[in-house]
Amino acid sequence: MKNRIDAAFEKCRAANRAAFMPFLTAGDPTLAATAALIEECERCGADMLELGIPYSDPVADGPTIQASYGRALSAGCRLEDIFDMLRGVRERCELPILTMVSFSIVSRHGPQAYFGRAAEAGVDGVIIPDLPIEEGAAVARLAEKARLHPVFLVAPTTPDERMKGIVRRSRGFIYYIAVAGTTGARAALPLDLAQHIARVKAATDKPVAVGFGVSSPEQVAAVAQAADGVIVGSAIVRKVAESAGRPLPELVQEVGRFVKKLAAATKKN
């Protein structure tokens, strides 16, 4: 059976557009809201979804996502609750889902157990930003054994030789970090971003998806011309936070409108 991530990229390639991947924090503001938002993202044109697993000490996330993790943890969000929520979502939703998760969480539960439970809940891939490729090969094999795609990250500062190892080990796609540093909306993306994406694409035939800093339909449209996928995180998480005090249907509708605008910007010229 083909992984949903692979099928999504094939579908987008045939439609001459980049895949759009929103990011949500699990449990922010509630797990019921997260479930409704995942389904709304699918309805509004998302091609896959990155789900952040709340962690008290994230290493790659800026203040917006850090704050969302804090809210989810304060509300008592636990890993098993997240997997329970995803099992329910999977009964109604075919959107490919990847968890963005700290290796501390994976290690605490045991990689084999974490991947097995994730796969059973309907997860398709895993991104572990604090797991370097040099130490990640064995972990990646365990993810693949559970039929999950392990996705590794390439930064603007990654040397060519190291990048070759990363693209060999990644499955599904390569996650390219548009800007050095942490996640967070940026007013402008690097002028040489397309050149950096081309450098990664020259090293692999796997899709390259770009995240970190992409925050508006205009930026999505620009990135989509060079990349195979576009990831938007902090701008969506901020929209969730701004609507958190409203009734759930209104929150979902407000976020959905924004996701729809972003997804509509992925057409290639």
Note the pLDDT of residue 191: 81
- Of 61, 135, 228, 242, which residue is the catalytic one? 61
204-213 pLDDT, tens per residue?
999 999 998 8
Model pLDDT, residue 38: 98
Q: What is the pLDDT of residues 225-267, one digit of tens each?
A: 999 999 999 999 999 999 988 999 999 999 999 999 999 999 9
How confident is the model at residue 254, as a pLDDT?
Answer: 97
pLDDT score, position 85: 98
Tokens of 95: 């959107």
The residues pairing with 21 across neighbouring beta strands, listed in sequence order, are 231
Cβ(21)–Cβ(231) below 8 Å: yes
- Top CATH class of 4-263 equals alpha beta
Q: What's the pLDDT score for residue 178?
A: 84
Would you state the pLDDT for residue 180?
59
Q: Which of 50, 80, 130, 134 is catalytic?
A: 50
> What is the CA 62 to chain-centroid distance, rounded?
15
pLDDT in the model for residue 57? 76
Q: What is the pLDDT of residue 100?
A: 96
39 part of the active site: no
Sign of CA dihedral 37, 41, 43, 49: negative
47 catalytic? Reply is no
* Cβ atoms of 106 and 139 closer than 8 Å: yes
Q: Give the chain's residues under pLDDT 50.
A: 181-185
Count the neighbouring beta carbons within 10 Å of the beta carbon of residue 171.
Answer: 19
The whole-number pLDDT of residue 213 equals: 83
Question: What is residue 184's predicted lDDT score, i.e. its pLDDT?
Answer: 45
